[in-house]
């Protein structure tokens, strides 16, 4: 259907084509449309005001890169049928459809037992039902059950189109331009060897740069201390809501947030139900949960009689964040106690409620692992080696080292 051919403007890549009608239908579906109202980076815009891009944009961007990758691999002689091409594009388009609002925070508070990966799969299956099996191959690829393994690697691996897009997109919208990844060049150097996605030898330097740019983005953006502070403020706010709710207190929520705060039945019930309609009920509710539900609720909570909740949520709304300290060692207990004492006096909060205001935690970057999922280089000799072996610079022991840091949060200044 030619009238379903569509071109979308994208500030990052220019124009994005939607090559198959089914892709267009999926984008039009309300399950996907909701991603327009879910920001890719949550509260990161509290630090980088430009970071308002959505998961909708990221889905389209990953689709764009997938189209490039398929064209490159075909040009190098790899056979990819039209069905496979469509399937792998559907898989990448929908790979993040299971993300909820402020995913990271939500998964640490209200819905701890529902991973976005699982939800993505459930959404795909439901969409497959609605579209009469047109997503069969996509789902096989997504679950790595398709016989051509490299198609799954294009969707989910160290060099998948997901990662290439989000790193580039996040650096674009945050304005951290030196985090730019040469996605074009990397894709041009991909090839398939023994059903495995590998990089041609001359791509070594691009891969090195990719790994370092990723690292830069981690510390400069994803684990930026002020972003951490904001996310922890949101997590604590949501935890308090859940706690109050469990204690039987009335707490305002928008209807769809309410479903997850007090689900009629266990969430796992819906997920595991043999009745597709029960799962659909869960998905339909989840599909209405957006960033705006959290933020509207927080504005109402700011006037809640519970002192802890009102302080947390009004600060969240006004961007009055915790002071955060980060260091390699753990923080001494006396320091934590001293902060708590100060808060107790200043904010008239006490007991275990103080943990909402003064707390420690641990962060670690997503280091390059050398066990299972690796970036493979195809040497001119025909040998395939890991990037850490092929590179002069990347020392495996350094690269694979997970850097772990401790942080301490407490209210700024005279007690907020």
Q: Which residues from 182-221 bind its own copies, rule CB under 8 A? A: 182, 184-185, 188, 204-206, 208-210, 212-213, 215-216, 219-220
Among 118, 265, 300, 338, binds its own copies (CB under 8 A): 300
Among 23, 38, 41, 45, binds its own copies (CB under 8 A): 45
Please, which residue, 166 or 172, has the CB nearer to its own copies?
Answer: 172
Please, which residue, 28 or 83, has the CB nearer to its own copies?
Answer: 28
Judged by CB under 8 A, the stretch of 175-183, 240-248, 333-341, 344-352 that binds its own copies is 175-183
Please, which residue, 80 or 141, has the CB nearer to its own copies?
Answer: 80
In angstroms, what is the minimal distance from the CB of 197 to its own copies? 19
Please enumerate in sequence order all residues whose Cβ is within 8 A of that of 232, keeping only pairs 6 or more positions apart, or say none.
322, 324, 359, 361, 409
Please, which residue, 11 or 332, has the CB nearer to its own copies?
Answer: 11
User: Site residues for its own copies, window 353-382 (CB under 8 A)?
Assistant: none
In angstroms, what is the minimal distance from the CB of 301 to its own copies? 11
CA distance 332 to 330: 7
In angstroms, what is the minimal distance from the CB of 366 to its own copies? 13
User: CA-CA distances (angstroms) from residue 263 to 177, 256, 266?
Assistant: 43, 10, 6
User: Site residues for its own copies, window 48-107 (CB under 8 A)?
Assistant: 48-50, 52-54, 56-57, 60, 75
Judged by CB under 8 A, the stretch of 38-46, 143-151, 259-267, 369-377 that binds its own copies is 38-46
Judged by CB under 8 A, the stretch of 134-142, 313-321, 336-344, 349-357 that binds its own copies is 313-321
Please, which residue, 51 or 354, has the CB nearer to its own copies?
Answer: 51
Q: Is 403 in the site for its own copies (CB under 8 A)?
A: yes
Which 3-state string (H, E, C) describes the chain? CHHHCEEEEECCCEEEEECCHHHHHHHHCHHHHHHHHCECCHHHHHCCCCCCCEHHHHHHHHHHHHHHHHHHHHHCCCCCCHHHHHHHHHHHHHCCCCCCCCHHHHHCCCCCCCCHHHHHHHHHHHHHHHCCCCCHHHHHHHCCCCCCHHHHHHHCCCCCHHHHHHHHHHHHHHCCHHHCCCHHHHHHCEEEECCEEEEEHHHHHHHHHHHHHHHHHHHHHHCCHHHHHHHHHHHHHHHHHHHHHHCCCCCCCCHHHHHHHCCCCCHHHHHHCCCHHHHHHHHHHHCCCCHHHHHHHHHHHCCCCCHHHHHHHHHHHHCCCCEEEEECCCCCHHHHHHHHHHHHHHHCCCHHHHHHCCEEEEEECCCCCCCCCCCEEECCCCCEEEHHHHCCCCCHHHHCCCCEEEEEEECCCCCC
Among 144, 292, 330, 366, binds its own copies (CB under 8 A): 292
Q: Is 7 in the site for its own copies (CB under 8 A)?
A: yes
Binding mask 243-272 for its own copies (x = CB under 8 A): -----------xxx----------------
Among 133, 329, 392, 413, binds its own copies (CB under 8 A): 392
In angstroms, what is the minimal distance from the CB of 407 to its own copies? 15
In angstroms, what is the minimal distance from the CB of 34 to its own copies? 8
Please, which residue, 94 or 139, has the CB nearer to its own copies?
Answer: 94
Among 112, 113, 144, 178, binds its own copies (CB under 8 A): 178
Strands 323-327 and 190-193 come out as: unpaired
In angstroms, what is the minimal distance from the CB of 406 to its own copies? 14
Please, which residue, 231 or 290, has the CB nearer to its own copies?
Answer: 290
């Amino acid at each position: 259907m030619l009238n379903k051919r569509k071109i979308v403007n994208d500030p990052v890549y220019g124009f994005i084509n939607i090559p198959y009608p089914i892709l267009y239908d999926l984008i039009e579906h309300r399950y996907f449309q909701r991603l327009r109202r879910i920001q890719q980076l949550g509260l990161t815009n509290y630090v980088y005001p430009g970071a308002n891009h959505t998961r909708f944009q990221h889905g389209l961007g990953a689709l764009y890169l997938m189209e490039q990758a398929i064209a490159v691999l075909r040009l190098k002689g790899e056979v990819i049928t039209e069905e496979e091409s469509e399937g792998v594009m559907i898989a990448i388009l929908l790979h993040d459809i299971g993300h909820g609002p402020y995913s990271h925070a939500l998964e640490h508070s209200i819905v701890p037992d529902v991973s976005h990966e699982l939800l993505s799969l459930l959404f795909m299956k439901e969409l497959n039902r609605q579209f009469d099996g047109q997503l069969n191959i996509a789902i096989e690829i997504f679950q790595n059950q398709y016989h051509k393994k490299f198609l799954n690697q294009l969707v989910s691996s160290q060099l998948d189109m997901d990662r290439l897009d989000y790193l580039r997109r996040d650096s674009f919208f945050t304005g951290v331009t030196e985090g730019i990844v040469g996605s074009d060049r990397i894709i041009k150097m991909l090839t398939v060897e023994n059903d495995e996605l590998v990089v041609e030898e001359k791509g070594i330097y691009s891969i090195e740069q990719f790994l370092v740019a990723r690292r830069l983005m981690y510390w400069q953006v994803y684990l930026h201390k002020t972003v951490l502070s904001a996310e922890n403020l949101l997590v604590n706010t949501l935890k308090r809501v859940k706690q109050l709710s469990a204690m039987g207190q009335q707490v305002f929520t928008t209807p769809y947030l309410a479903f997850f705060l007090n689900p009629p039945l266990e969430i796992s019930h819906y997920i595991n139900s043999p009745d597709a309609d029960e799962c659909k009920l869960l998905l339909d509710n989840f599909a209405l949960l957006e960033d705006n539900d959290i933020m509207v609720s927080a504005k109402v909570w700011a006037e809640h009689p519970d002192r802890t909740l009102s302080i947390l949520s009004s600060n969240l709304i006004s961007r009055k964040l915790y002071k955060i300290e980060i260091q390699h060692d753990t923080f001494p207990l006396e320091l934590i106690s001293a902060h708590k004492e100060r808060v107790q006096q200043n904010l008239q909060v006490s007991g275990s409620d103080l943990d909402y205001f003064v707390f420690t935690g641990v962060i670690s970057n997503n280091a390059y692992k050398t066990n299972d999922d690796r970036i493979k280089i195809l040497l001119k000799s025909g040998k395939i080696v890991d990037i850490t072996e092929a590179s002069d610079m990347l020392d495996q022991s350094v690269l694979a080292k997970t850097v772990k840091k401790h942080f301490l949060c407490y209210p700024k200044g005279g007690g907020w």
